A and B are shown apart, each in its own frame.
Chain A
Amino acid sequence: MNKDYEAIERAAKRKAAVRKGITYFFLTLWGIMVLFPFYWMVLTSVKSYGAYNSEYVPKFFTLSPTLENYKDAFTAVPLARYFANTLIFTVCTTALMLVVIVLAAFAFSRLNFKGKNLLFTLFLSLMMIPNELVIITNFVTITDWNMRNTFIGLILPSVTSVFYIYLLKENFEQIPDELYYAAKIDGTSDFKYLTKVMIPISQPTIVTIVILKVIECWNSYVWPRLITDDQLHFLVSNGIQEIRENGFGRENIPAMMAAVCVISAPLIVLFLIFRRKIMAGVSRGGTKG
Chain B
Amino acid sequence: MKVVLDHLTKRFPNINIKIKTEVVAVDDFDFEIPDGKLIGLLGPSGCGKSTTLNLICGLETPTEGRVFFGDDDVTKLPPENRGVGLVFQNYALYPHLTVRQNIMFPLQNLKGADKLTKQQMEEKVLEAAKLVQIDGLLDRKPSEMSGGQQQRVAIARALVKRPKVLLLDEPLSNLDARLRLQTREEIKRIQRETGITTIFVTHDQEEAMSISDLIVVMEAGKVNQIGKPQDVYDDPVNLFVAKFLGTPAINVFDAEVRDGVLWIAGDDVMDGVDVPDQKVWAGIRPEAFVPDDSGKMECKLVNVEVMGRDTSVVSTHEGMQGVSIRAIISAENKVDQTKEIVNFRLRPAKVYLFDKTSSKRIYFGDQKPLGRA
* Touch test A–B (CB under 8 Å): yes
Which residues of A approach B to under 8 Å, CB–CB? 1-2, 5, 8-9, 12
Q: Which residues of A contact B77 (CB under 8 A)?
A: 5, 8-9
Q: Contact check, B74 vs A5: say whether CB atoms are below 8 A apart.
A: yes
Query: CA separation between A9 and B73, bound complex, in Å?
Result: 11
Query: CA separation between A2 and B73, bound complex, in Å?
Result: 7
User: In the assembled complex, how far is the CB of residue B67 from the closest CB belonging to chain A, in whole angstroms?
Assistant: 11
Q: Which residues of B contact A12 (CB under 8 A)?
A: 78, 81
Query: CA separation between A12 and B72, bound complex, in Å?
Result: 18
CB-contacts of B45-78 with A (<8 A)? 71-74, 76-78
Q: Contact check, A8 vs B81: say whether CB atoms are below 8 A apart.
A: yes
Query: CA separation between A1 and B83, bound complex, in Å?
Result: 15
User: In the assembled complex, how far is the CB of residue A110 from the closest CB belonging to chain B, in whole angstroms?
Assistant: 35
Q: A2 is contacted by which of B72, B78, B81 (Cβ under 8 Å)?
A: B72
Closest to A12 in B: B78
User: In the assembled complex, how far is the CB of residue B73 from the closest CB belonging to chain A, in whole angstroms?
Assistant: 6
Q: Which residues of A contact B81 (CB under 8 A)?
A: 5, 8, 12
User: In the assembled complex, how far is the CB of residue B332 from the closest CB belonging to chain A, in whole angstroms?
Assistant: 54
Q: Contact check, B71 vs A1: say whether CB atoms are below 8 A apart.
A: yes
Query: CA separation between A5 and B72, bound complex, in Å?
Result: 8
User: In the assembled complex, how far is the CB of residue A72 from the closest CB belonging to chain B, in whole angstroms?
Assistant: 47
Closest to A5 in B: B77
User: In the assembled complex, how far is the CB of residue A14 from the closest CB belonging to chain B, in whole angstroms?
Assistant: 12
User: In the assembled complex, how far is the CB of residue A9 from the closest CB belonging to chain B, in whole angstroms?
Assistant: 5
Query: CA separation between A8 and B76, bound complex, in Å?
Result: 10
Q: Interface residue tally of chain B, by bracket?
A: under 10
Which residues of B approach A to under 8 Å, CB–CB? 71-74, 76-78, 81
User: In the assembled complex, how far is the CB of residue A102 from the closest CB belonging to chain B, in whole angstroms?
Assistant: 38
User: In the assembled complex, how far is the CB of residue A266 from the closest CB belonging to chain B, in whole angstroms?
Assistant: 33
Q: Can you identify 17 A-B contacts, CB atoms within 8 angstroms?
A: A1-B71, A1-B72, A2-B72, A2-B73, A5-B72, A5-B73, A5-B74, A5-B77, A5-B81, A8-B77, A8-B78, A8-B81, A9-B76, A9-B77, A9-B78, A12-B78, A12-B81
Q: Which residues of B contact A8 (CB under 8 A)?
A: 77-78, 81
User: In the assembled complex, how far is the CB of residue A17 from the closest CB belonging to chain B, in whole angstroms?
Assistant: 14
Closest to B72 in A: A1
| Apart from A5-B81, A8-B81, A12-B81: 5 A-B pairs, beta carbons within 8 A | A1-B71, A1-B72, A5-B73, A5-B74, A12-B78
Query: CA separation between A119 and B76, bound complex, in Å?
Result: 64
Query: CA separation between A9 and B75, bound complex, in Å?
Result: 10
Q: Which residues of B contact A1 (CB under 8 A)?
A: 71-72
Query: CA separation between A2 and B72, bound complex, in Å?
Result: 6
Q: Which residues of A contact B78 (CB under 8 A)?
A: 8-9, 12
Query: CA separation between A11 and B295, bound complex, in Å?
Result: 71
User: In the assembled complex, how far is the CB of residue B66 from the closest CB belonging to chain A, in whole angstroms?
Assistant: 11
The 4 closest A-B pairs by CB, nearest first: A12-B78, A9-B76, A8-B81, A1-B72
User: In the assembled complex, how far is the CB of residue A12 from the closest CB belonging to chain B, in whole angstroms?
Assistant: 5
Query: CA separation between A237 and B76, bound complex, in Å?
Result: 58
Closest to B78 in A: A12
Closest to B80 in A: A12
User: In the assembled complex, how far is the CB of residue A250 from the closest CB belonging to chain B, in whole angstroms?
Assistant: 53
Query: CA separation between A8 and B81, bound complex, in Å?
Result: 8
User: In the assembled complex, how far is the CB of residue A213 from the closest CB belonging to chain B, in whole angstroms?
Assistant: 37
Query: CA separation between A9 and B80, bound complex, in Å?
Result: 11
User: In the assembled complex, how far is the CB of residue A19 from the closest CB belonging to chain B, in whole angstroms?
Assistant: 13
Query: CA separation between A9 and B77, bound complex, in Å?
Result: 5
Closest to A10 in B: B76
Closest to A4 in B: B72
Closest to B82 in A: A5
Q: Which residues of B contact A5 (CB under 8 A)?
A: 72-74, 77, 81
Query: CA separation between A118 and B78, bound complex, in Å?
Result: 59
Closest to A9 in B: B76
Query: CA separation between A5 and B71, bound complex, in Å?
Result: 12
Q: Which residues of A contact B73 (CB under 8 A)?
A: 2, 5
Query: CA separation between A5 and B73, bound complex, in Å?
Result: 8
Query: CA separation between A9 and B82, bound complex, in Å?
Result: 11
Query: CA separation between A207 and B120, bound complex, in Å?
Result: 58
Q: Which residues of A contact B76 (CB under 8 A)?
A: 9
Q: Which residues of A contact B72 (CB under 8 A)?
A: 1-2, 5
Q: Which residues of A contact B74 (CB under 8 A)?
A: 5
Query: CA separation between A8 and B73, bound complex, in Å?
Result: 12
Query: CA separation between A276 and B228, bound complex, in Å?
Result: 53
Query: CA separation between A12 and B81, bound complex, in Å?
Result: 10
Query: CA separation between A9 and B72, bound complex, in Å?
Result: 13
Query: CA separation between A2 and B66, bound complex, in Å?
Result: 13
Query: CA separation between A5 and B82, bound complex, in Å?
Result: 10
User: In the assembled complex, how far is the CB of residue B203 from the closest CB belonging to chain A, in whole angstroms?
Assistant: 33
User: In the assembled complex, how far is the CB of residue B154 from the closest CB belonging to chain A, in whole angstroms?
Assistant: 26
Query: CA separation between A5 and B83, bound complex, in Å?
Result: 13
Query: CA separation between A8 and B111, bound complex, in Å?
Result: 15
Query: CA separation between A1 and B77, bound complex, in Å?
Result: 12
Query: CA separation between A12 and B58, bound complex, in Å?
Result: 13
Query: CA separation between A2 and B74, bound complex, in Å?
Result: 8
Closest to A8 in B: B81
Closest to B73 in A: A2
